Structure 1
Amino acid sequence: MKALITGATSGIGAAIAHRFVDDGHDVVLVGRSAERLTSVAEELRAAAPLVCVGVEQADFADLAQVHALADRLATRDAPDVVVSNAALVAPVAQRNSDGIPLTVVVNFLAPYILLRRLAEAFPNHASRFVVLGAEPAGSAGLVVDVDDLTYTSADLMFPDPDLQAFALYGHSKNMDVMLAYALADRLAGTAITVNGVHPGIIGQTGLMTGIPGLAKKALAMFGATDADLPNPSDGADTPYWVATSPDLDGVTGTYFGDRAEAATAEHTTDKERLERLWRSAAEATRMAV
C-alpha cells in the first residue's frame, strides 16, 4: 500500500505517516518546508528501513503549486490512500490575490484541487480518500458561507481578531466535511471512496503557532491547556483506521469520529448547499464545475 499524506511534517500528519510506515506501508509526504520534509523522511526511514518514503514540496497557500503537485503525481503510480490533513490557522486579514483568506485557501481550496485532480488522473484505481474535517458537535453552529469564500461579511462570532481567526478555521474545516460528502457523491460507483474524519481535539500540533497567544485563548474557552489534550499519536488513530480498515471496504460518503460513524450538522449535508459550495470552489480555483 502507498499512502499520500498532506501536512505530513508535524502534528497529526506526521503521526499518521508513522502509523503507515510502522505497518510496512510506503508513504509520500507532502509539506511546505523542504527542511522539515527531509527531517521527517529521515526519521521514518530510520524507523522502517524497508519501506519507501517519498517527499513532495508544495505550499498550499499557493494554488499554482497545488496544481503543479497534482501534475507531478499524475505521472507516477497512483496512491492507494490519500489523507488530506494539511491545515493552518491564519489571521483573517491574510488573503490571497483573490481576497480569499489563507485559512480557506490552505484548508479547503487546496485539497479541493488535489483530490479532484487525483481522481481525474486515476479514475479506475481503487483508492481511499480520507478528509480530516471539523468536530461535529462543536462546529454545528458554524454555517459555511457557500456563496462567498472571501468571507468579507460573515459573522465570525468574536470581537477579538485572534478568535475570529479560530472561528474561520472552524468554518474551513466544515468546508472539508462538505467536500468529503460532495466528492463522494460525484465519485459514486467508481473505484474511489471518500470519507471524512474528525481526529479528536488534539494538543501539541503547532496548528495555531502562526498567531501568538491564540492557542491559550482558544483552549481557555474549553477550560483546558495544551497539555490536557490527547497527543498527535492519538489523533492519528481514527484517520488511520478509516484509511486502512478492511471493515470499511467500499464505504463512501460517511463521516467518522472515534472509530464510529458521526452525524454532522444538517447544513453540512444539504445537497443544494453542497452544490453551491462546489461551484464556489470551482470558480475560486478556475476549474470546471
Structure 2
Amino acid sequence: MPSALITGATAGIGAAFARRLAADGFSLVLVARDEERLTAAAESLRLRYGVESEVLAADLATDEGLERVEARLRQGIDLLVNNAGFGHPGSFLDVSVPDELRMLKVHCEAVLRLTMAALPGMRKRNRGAVINVASVAAFFNRGTYSASKAWVVNYSESTAAELVGTRVRVMALCPGFVRTEFHERASIDASAIPGFLWLSADDVVDESMRDLALGKRVSVPDLRYKVIVGVGRLVPRGLAARVSQRLGRR
C-alpha cells in the first residue's frame, strides 16, 4: 500500500488531498498543529474510506515540530504533500517582522527541510513524489506571501530538474482562490473576490494529481487561472501588482 504524508491536513486543500488519497488506497500520515482536530479527521477518513491514518501533531513554525516530521519522513513515504501555510491581513508593511519570519519558516524552510528529508528514501527506491503547494500569487507581487510562494515554485522546479532520469517527481501546485478556511483564519476580507474566480479544493486536488501523473513541474489548476497567469506574464509588472493587490484584499 502506498503511503502519503500531508501537512496542513485538517482543512482546505490538505483535507481534500487526504480524501483523494484515501480513496486511492494510500495509507496516510496527517500533520497539523491541532491534535484533536487531526484525530477527528483520521476517524472521518476511517469511517468513509476504511483507511487508518497516523496522526502527527507538529507546529512547522518551530524546529521541534519540523524535526518530528523530518524523522517520520526518513522512515519512508511515497508521496509528500507540503501544504501547510497561512496569510496575513492588510499590507505586508504593517505585519511585524517576527510574523513575517514565521511565514518564511512555514512556507520556505519547512518545504526545504521536509522535501530533503523525504527525497533520499525516494531516490534509493527510485520512486516517489513531492507536491509543494504554492499559489497563483507566486506569479504576482503581493508582499512576503507571494515572494515565499515564488520561492516554492522555483525550488520545486530546480529540484525536479535535479531528478531527471529518475522516477521521483517534484511539482509545485499553484491554485488560485479556493473555498477553504484560509481567508477567514487570516482575517482577510475576501468579499471583493468575484464569484467566478473561486475553485473547489477537491477540483484543485484532482487536477494536481493528473498533472503529477503527466510529469508536470508546475500545476496551475483550471483554465481561468492558466489564462490569468499567462496574461500576468505579459502585462507590466507594476500594473499586475496593482491589480493583484486590489483583487486579493480590500
Structure-1 separation of matches of 2:97 and 2:58: 18
> How has the CA–CA distance of structure 1 residues 10 and 60 changed in structure 2, closer, same or farther, with 3 Å as cutoff?
same
Q: For each residue in 1:188-242, what CA deviation from the matched residue of structure 2 results, as whole angstroms up to 9, or x when unmatched?
A: 3344211122234212x11133442x133xx52x4459xx723322222222334
Q: For residues 33 and 215 of structure 1, what CA distance do their matches in structure 2 show? A: 25
Cα separation, 2, equivalents of 1:241 and 1:109: 27
Q: Which residue of 2 aligns with 1:233?
A: 202
Q: How much identity, in percent, do the aligned residues show?
A: 27
Q: Do the aligned partners of 1:198 and 1:256 also contact (CA within 8 Å) in 2? A: yes
Match of 2:177 in 1: 201
Distance 1:132 1:86 in 2: 8
- TM normalised by structure 2 equals 0.77
Q: Shift in Å at residue 169 of structure 1?
A: 1.7
**Structure richer in helix, relative to its length:** 2
- The root-mean-square deviation of aligned C-alpha atoms, in Å, is 2.7
Tell me, in whole angstroms, the C-alpha distance in 1 between the residues paired with 2:96 and 2:33.
17
Residue 122 to residue 258, structure 1, CA distance change in 2 (3 Å): closer
In the alignment of these two chains, the number of paired residues is: 222
Give the match's secondary structure for 2:189.
helix
Q: Is contact 2:73-2:117 (8 Å) kept?
A: no
In structure 2, the residue matched to 1:187 is 163
Cα distance change, pair 63–90 in 1 and its aligned pair in 2 (3 A): farther
Letter in 1 for 2:184: T
For the Cα contact (< 8 Å) 1:241–1:259, is it kept in 2?
Answer: no
Q: Describe the superposition over 1:234-268 as per-residue Cα deviations: whole angstroms up to 9, x where unpaired.
A: 2222223344x3xx3xx36x2122379x68888xx
Residue of structure 2 in register with 1:12 after alignment: 13
Alignment partner of 1:177 out of 148, 153, 162: 153
Gaps of 5+ in 1: 143-155, 157-166, 267-289
The runs of 4+ residues in structure 1 deviating greater than 4 Å are 262-266
- Deviation at 1:122? 4.1
Contact 1:59 1:66 (8 Å CA) reproduced: yes
- 1:139 Cα deviation after fit: 4.2
Corresponding letter in the other structure for 1:255: V
Quote the Cα distance in structure 2 between the aligned partners of 1:110 and 1:116.
10
- Partner SS for 2:15: helix
C-alpha contact (below 8 Å) 1:199/1:239 kept by paired residues: no
